[in-house]
Amino acid sequence: MSTAEKYLKPEVVRQIARLDLRAQFIVKGFLQGLHASPFHGFSVEFSEHRKYTPGDDPKDIDWLVYAKTDKYYVKKFEAETNITGYLVMDLSRSMGYTYRQELTKFDYAICLAAALAYLMIHQQDPVGLVTFDEKIRASLPPRSKRSHLGDVLGLLANLKPSGSTNIAHSLVQVAAMLRHASLVMVFSDLLVDPEPVLDALHRLRHGGHDVILFHVLDEAEVQFPFEGMVELEEPESHERLALDAAGFRQDYFKELEALRETYRRDCFQSGVDYVPLDTSMQFDKALTEYLVSRSARG
């Protein structure tokens, strides 16, 4: 296993107590991985540079970057690089679930959000934070100062998932809050009826916002590793259902795939980036999606 991979494994990240150090650890592994991948050069390009194109002033070429990469990059101007980001975090009780992983869905989403906040602020991009369950619970206005990272991480580190959720209503509230075109990064397990959520995502897109939907499920919710008679509990209503795992498994996989496919298809059509994740997956998949999305808009 490469060093970069180790940095990105959820079970390794779990051993780091402080969220700020977790975020740095993940980002460090991610950037190391970029250097050894087809995305080489991205780690330069996504921050404060873009490739030199005919018509650019040669005086703007960054020769230090050229010395490292053999490619011509120019410094981006403030106006063409910065985008305001909002981390939008689902606080519902179901997010606190894990079956056998080191991180709950919520822990996983928090680590991912912290790493994204770290990346954005190091790119001088303002980032804000919005938390919701049945409605918006807290919001931190976007700023790009380094000191703001501490505020974002401090709030993230103290969040606890509890209560029921209304994702669609909360996203409509977010859409009403935003004054300027922004990058909205939503973290949720989406264990609700998809139609109202998709309508709310359409509203965000209609308002001119770019949206990345991180669909975070527990590894057990994706793999269904249960055997024999099991008792499943609906996390928000606490209703219990006893069933035979073997008899239910195929129906379960069918339902899960149908849910993911609904989001995949609809998000593709409406221009939302949909990123299905589970808590056993390395963090680089999600961070690469962010990077590609942001680069396409840069």
Q: How do residues 39-77 score in pLDDT, each as one tens digit?
A: 555 554 555 666 777 777 787 787 877 776 677 777 665
Asked if 98 and 64 sit in the same domain, the reply is no
Strand 49-51 with 73-75, pairing? antiparallel
User: Exposed/middle/buried for 174, CB within 10 Å: 0-12, 13-18, 19+?
Assistant: buried
Asked if 87 and 210 sit in the same domain, the reply is yes
pLDDT at 3: 77
Asked if 147 and 185 sit in the same domain, the reply is yes
Last residue of a domain, one of 81, 111, 141: 81
Please provide the average confidence, as pLDDT, over all residues in the chain. Answer: 87
What pLDDT, in 10s, does the model give residues 182-224?
A: 999 999 999 999 999 999 999 999 999 999 999 999 999 999 9
Asked if 77 and 112 sit in the same domain, the reply is no
Asked if 169 and 221 sit in the same domain, the reply is yes
Asked if 103 and 134 sit in the same domain, the reply is yes
What pLDDT, in 10s, does the model give residues 80-101?
A: 557 899 999 999 999 999 999 9
Beta-ladder partners of 75: 49
pLDDT score of 284 more than 60: yes
Residue 142, CA distances (Å) to 46, 280, 287 in order: 19, 30, 20
182 three-class SS: coil
Question: Domain limits at 235?
Answer: 82-297
Angle formed at CA 122 by CA 279 and CA 140, multiple of 5 degrees:
70
Look up residue 224 and give its two tokens: 């269904």
Asked if 69 and 117 sit in the same domain, the reply is no
Asked if 64 and 124 sit in the same domain, the reply is no
Asked if 117 and 61 sit in the same domain, the reply is no
Last residue of a domain, one of 81, 113, 131: 81
User: Exposed/middle/buried for 229, CB within 10 Å: 0-12, 13-18, 19+?
Assistant: exposed
Between residues 49 and 106, the one the model is more confident about: 106
Last residue of a domain, one of 81, 108, 133: 81
258 three-class SS: helix
pLDDT at 48: 62
Q: Residue 59: inside a domain, yes or no?
A: yes
Q: What is the CATH number of the domain that holds 280?
A: 3.40.50.410
Domain count, the chain: 2
pLDDT at 47: 55
Q: What is the mean pLDDT of residues 7-25?
A: 93
Q: Residue 237: inside a domain, yes or no?
A: yes
144 three-class SS: coil
Return the minimum-mean-pLDDT range out of 3-17, 211-225, 256-270, 284-298.
284-298
